[in-house]
């Protein structure tokens, strides 16, 4: 199995927890001063981290650049918490893998 | 018209390729230590350049550094260091009465080049263009980042003045203090130019980019074999106050702003005009109520281009030919050309002369160009002199902008 096929299979089996980790990895890049060890998935990210509107645009941009995932402006509200991110983004990731 | 209030320097913060404090910078200037690196420049390969190694995280969060600009980080570092040097009780300072005036040669080229490269990785699709682009590239960015970092709510802006910008920032601040627009000013010049390939390519194709097998010898103003500019980054920001305010708070007074002039060649975009430079220096002297022989140190602008150095020497001969107590030096031979920071940094490195009476040299002269053999030029070795009470700082730039700033040792009048 090639590396690409391995990656494709991994992505195809992504879970909501994987999506949460994808989002946390992005936040770690854009907000490097934040402690992400105890982020509550059900709580709004802005209520527990120092994130502003430009940071959410960074999350949208990184999803686009790193994962080819588009989030229309009308859906930005879906990125409010890790849980809502997972709920909203998982179908997009799976669709990207042809599932 | 009544006399305008006297303006003094009460704090200083800097980062130069060979020092992140005045103490370190000065020690290297007196020791003849240049520090030019070789860096990889996009599309151009290895080039000599002056690189600063200050710790940006000393005064900024990592997110601030990520979202901001290199010019902003340099500015914040220098402004914070200047504040610490000034001994101000920052909590008690009325931030609405503080101004930030920073000279820049250019701004935004770095970020624009980076984004053009970024979207080239995505088929030039502009949906990958960062939303940080505009706040990073607006011309007030470096000064604005300082206000956000320090909670300053008074005026802030940059002064675009090509390579005369460092002096221009200081002059702007002195004028605003004299007008009563602000009570305290952070002013000087900064540059992030080494991070844009365009400035390297522009000078290269102009035949004005310096090179040498030893990077530390690449910048050699006044040497017969000089071959151009070494591009550097850096910054120097000063705390300026009205003298009365400084005395009232018992501030340490580093120097007094004595006089200045900014004028224009109105002749050529790149070739300096010694006649206008002469007039600029003469006007600064007149405003400072000083004669040429009263100037102890002339800090030259010379960038090591074939023609520019000669033009400045013509101007200096015009003014200082009969001044045996006037000593002439150059800082770019150590650190390259720090562009918007050049004037402010070059003044800074000379200020300790008021205390130690040493004049740092211009280095890297193997064979002095006869056309640059100015009387009083301090070559390769520092020189101790009887007393330093005045410094004239020259900074000139493209489009024919000339600036001359005179500072003097503070004395009770």
Query: What pLDDT, on a 0 to 100 scale, did the predictor assign at position B246?
Result: 98
Q: Same structural domain for residues B364 and B240?
A: no
A85, A26 contact by CB (below 8 A)? no
Q: How confident is the model at residue B248 (pLDDT cuts 50, 70, 90)?
A: very high
Q: Is B301 a catalytic residue?
A: yes
B78, B191 contact by CB (below 8 A)? no
Q: Is residue B413, in this structure, part of any structural domain at all?
A: no
Collect all residues of chain B within an 8 Å Cβ-Cβ radius of residue A32: 62-63, 66
* CB–CB contact A61 B130 (8 Å): yes
Domain that holds residue B237: 7-248
Give the number of beta-carbon pairs within 8 Å between A and B. 22
- Strand B156-160, strand B255-264: pairing: unpaired
* CB–CB contact B132 A54 (8 Å): yes
Query: CA-CA distance, B231 to B219, in Å (whole number)?
Result: 9
Q: How confident is the model at residue B2 (pLDDT cuts 50, 70, 90)?
A: confident
Q: Same structural domain for residues B219 and B242?
A: yes
Q: Same structural domain for residues B346 and B287?
A: yes
Query: What pLDDT, on a 0 to 100 scale, did the predictor assign at position A5?
Result: 53
CB-based contact (8 Å) between B117 and chain A? no
Percent of chain B having pLDDT more than 70? 100
Nearest CA in chain B to A55: B67
For residue B160 the two structure tokens come to 């675009």
CB-based contact (8 Å) between B130 and chain A? yes
Q: Is residue B28, in this structure, part of any structural domain at all?
A: yes
| Coil vs helix vs strand at B184 | strand
CB-based contact (8 Å) between A49 and chain B? no
Nearest CA in chain A to B129: A61
Distance in Å, alpha carbon of B197 to nearest chain A alpha carbon: 25
CA-CA-CA-CA torsion sign (B362, B365, B368, B369): negative
B295, B326 contact by CB (below 8 A)? yes
Distance in Å, alpha carbon of B76 to nearest chain A alpha carbon: 18
Query: CA-CA distance, B220 to B15, in Å (whole number)?
Result: 21
Q: Is the pLDDT of residue B45 over 60?
A: yes
Q: Is the pLDDT of residue A97 over 80?
A: no
Nearest CA in chain A to B125: A65
CA-CA-CA-CA torsion sign (A59, A62, A66, A69): positive
Query: CA-CA distance, B27 to B2, in Å (whole number)?
Result: 41
B174, B7 contact by CB (below 8 A)? yes
CB-based contact (8 Å) between A64 and chain B? yes
Query: CA-CA distance, B285 to B180, in Å (whole number)?
Result: 24
Nearest Cα residue to B107 out of B39, B38, B16, B169:
B169
A61, A98 contact by CB (below 8 A)? no
Query: What pLDDT, on a 0 to 100 scale, did the predictor assign at position A7?
Result: 53
Q: Same structural domain for residues B266 and B398?
A: yes
What's the rounded mean pLDDT across residues B218-246? 98
B74, B190 contact by CB (below 8 A)? yes
| Coil vs helix vs strand at A92 | helix
What's the rounded mean pLDDT across residues B218-227? 98
What's the rounded mean pLDDT across residues B22-51? 98
- Out of B52, B107, B156, B163, which one is annotated catalytic? B163
* CB–CB contact A64 B131 (8 Å): no
- Strand B37-41, strand B184-191: pairing: unpaired
* CB–CB contact B128 A33 (8 Å): no
List phi, psi (to 5°) of B395.
Answer: -145, 125
- Out of B107, B195, B337, B360, which one is annotated catalytic? B337
Q: Name the residue facing B62 among A32, A57, A58 (closest C-beta).
A: A32
Question: Of all residues in chain B, what percent are helix, strand and coil, respectively (each to 5)?
Answer: 40, 25, 35
What is the domain partition of chain A in residue ranges? 3-96
Structural domain count, chain B: 2
Query: What pLDDT, on a 0 to 100 scale, did the predictor assign at position B412?
Result: 87
Complex-level ipTM: 0.88
Query: CA-CA distance, B353 to B408, in Å (whole number)?
Result: 11
Q: How confident is the model at residue A1 (pLDDT cuts 50, 70, 90)?
A: very low
Q: Is residue B347, in this structure, part of any structural domain at all?
A: yes
B157, B220 contact by CB (below 8 A)? no
Collect all residues of chain A within an 8 Å Cβ-Cβ radius of residue B128: 61, 64-65
pLDDT in tens, B99-119: 999 999 999 999 999 999 999
Whole-prediction pTM: 0.96
CA-CA-CA-CA torsion sign (B258, B396, B145, B15): negative
- Give the up-direction half-sphere exposure of residue B310: CA atoms within 13 A in the CB hemisphere: 11
Q: Same structural domain for residues B152 and B265?
A: no
Q: Is the pLDDT of residue A99 over 70?
A: no
Q: How confident is the model at residue B131 (pLDDT cuts 50, 70, 90)?
A: very high
CB-based contact (8 Å) between B128 and chain A? yes
Query: CA-CA distance, B218 to B212, in Å (whole number)?
Result: 5
Question: Which of B248, B277, B296 represents a domain boundary (last residue)?
Answer: B248
CB-based contact (8 Å) between A31 and chain B? yes
Scored b (16 or more CB within 10 A) or e, A61-79 reads bbbbbebebebeeeeeeeb
Distance of CA B114 to the CA centre of its chain: 25
Q: Is B163 a catalytic residue?
A: yes
Q: Same structural domain for residues B240 and B312?
A: no
Q: Same structural domain for residues B274 and B186?
A: no
Q: Same structural domain for residues B70 and B205?
A: yes
Q: Same structural domain for residues B122 and B206?
A: yes
CB-based contact (8 Å) between A33 and chain B? yes
Q: Is the pLDDT of residue B151 over 50?
A: yes
pLDDT in tens, B339-375: 999 999 999 999 999 999 999 999 999 999 999 999 9
Q: Same structural domain for residues B166 and B95?
A: yes
What's the rounded mean pLDDT across residues B280-286? 98
List phi, psi (to 5°) of B409.
Answer: -65, 135
B169, B163 contact by CB (below 8 A)? no
Query: CA-CA distance, B104 to B160, in Å (whole number)?
Result: 5
Distance in Å, alpha carbon of B119 to nearest chain A alpha carbon: 10
pLDDT in tens, A72-89: 999 999 999 999 999 999
* CB–CB contact B131 A65 (8 Å): no
Q: Name the residue facing B63 among A31, A57, A61 (closest C-beta).
A: A31
List the CATH number of the domain containing B226. 3.40.47.10
* CB–CB contact A65 B61 (8 Å): no
Q: Is residue B156, in this structure, part of any structural domain at all?
A: yes
Query: CA-CA distance, B373 to B147, in Å (whole number)?
Result: 45
Question: Which of B227, B248, B269 represents a domain boundary (last residue)?
Answer: B248
DSSP strand E in B23-105: where? 37-41, 45-50, 98-104
What's the rounded mean pLDDT across residues B19-45? 98
Query: What pLDDT, on a 0 to 100 scale, did the predictor assign at position A10?
Result: 62
Query: What pLDDT, on a 0 to 100 scale, did the predictor assign at position A13?
Result: 78
Question: Which of B194, B227, B248 represents a domain boundary (last residue)?
Answer: B248
- Out of B156, B195, B301, B360, which one is annotated catalytic? B301
Collect all residues of chain A within an 8 Å Cβ-Cβ radius of residue B66: 30, 32
CB-based contact (8 Å) between A77 and chain B? no
Q: Is residue B159, in this structure, part of any structural domain at all?
A: yes
- The CATH classification number of A3-96 equals 1.10.1200.10
Collect all residues of chain A within an 8 Å Cβ-Cβ radius of residue B119: none
Percent of chain B having pLDDT more than 90? 99
CB-based contact (8 Å) between B131 and chain A? yes
Distance in Å, alpha carbon of A32 to nearest chain B alpha carbon: 6
């Amino acid at each position: 199995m090639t590396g690409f096929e391995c990656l494709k299979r991994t992505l195809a089996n992504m879970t909501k927890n994987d999506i949460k980790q994808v989002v946390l990895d992005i936040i770690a890049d854009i907000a490097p001063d934040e402690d992400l060890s105890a982020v509550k998935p059900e709580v709004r990210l802005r209520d527990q981290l120092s994130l502003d509107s430009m940071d959410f645009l960074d999350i949208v941009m990184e999803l686009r650049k790193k994962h080819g995932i588009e989030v229309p402006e009308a859906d930005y509200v879906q990125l409010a918490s890790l849980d809502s991110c997972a709920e909203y983004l998982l179908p997009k990731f799976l669709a990207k893998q042809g599932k | 018209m009544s006399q305008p209030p006297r303006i003094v320097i009460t704090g200083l913060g800097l980062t130069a390729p060979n020092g992140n404090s005045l103490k370190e910078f000065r020690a290297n200037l007196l020791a003849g230590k240049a520090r030019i690196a070789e860096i990889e420049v996009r599309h151009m390969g290895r080039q000599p350049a002056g690189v600063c190694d200050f710790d940006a995280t000393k005064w900024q969060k990592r997110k601030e550094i990520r979202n901001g600009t290199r010019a902003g980080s340099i500015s914040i570092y220098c402004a914070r260091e200047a504040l610490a040097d000034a001994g101000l009780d920052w909590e008690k300072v009325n931030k609405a009465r503080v101004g930030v005036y920073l000279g820049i040669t250019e701004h935004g080229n770095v970020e624009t080049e980076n984004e053009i490269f970024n979207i080239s990785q995505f088929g030039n699709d502009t949906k990958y263009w960062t939303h940080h682009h505009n706040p990073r590239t607006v011309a007030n960015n470096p000064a604005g980042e300082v206000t956000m970092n320090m909670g300053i709510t008074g005026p802030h802006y940059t002064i675009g003045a090509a390579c005369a910008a460092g002096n221009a920032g200081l002059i702007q601040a002195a004028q605003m203090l004299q007008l009563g627009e602000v009570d305290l000013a952070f002013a000087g010049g900064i540059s992030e130019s080494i991070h844009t390939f365009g400035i390297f390519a522009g000078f290269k194709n102009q035949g004005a980019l310096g090179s040498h097998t030893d990077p530390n010898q690449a910048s050699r103003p006044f040497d017969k074999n000089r071959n151009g500019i070494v591009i550097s980054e850096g910054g120097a920001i000063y705390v300026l106050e009205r003298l009365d305010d400084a005395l009232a708070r018992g501030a340490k007074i580093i120097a007094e702003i004595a006089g200045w002039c900014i004028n224009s060649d109105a002749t050529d975009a790149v070739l300096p005009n010694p006649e206008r430079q002469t007039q600029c220096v003469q006007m600064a002297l007149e405003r400072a109520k000083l004669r040429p022989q009263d100037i102890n140190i002339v800090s030259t602008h010379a960038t090591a281009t074939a023609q520019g150095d000669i033009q400045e020497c013509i101007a200096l001969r015009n003014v200082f030919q009969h001044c045996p107590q006037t000593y002439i030096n150059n800082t770019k031979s150590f650190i390259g050309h720090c562009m918007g920071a050049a004037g402010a940094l070059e003044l800074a490195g000379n200020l300790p002369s008021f205390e130690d009476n040493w004049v740092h040299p211009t280095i890297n002269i193997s064979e002095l160009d006869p056309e640059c053999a100015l009387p009083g030029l301090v070559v390769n070795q520092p020189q101790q002199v009887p007393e330093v009470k005045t410094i004239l700082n020259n900074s000139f730039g493209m489009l024919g902008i000339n600036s001359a700033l005179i500072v003097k040792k503070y004395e009770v009048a």
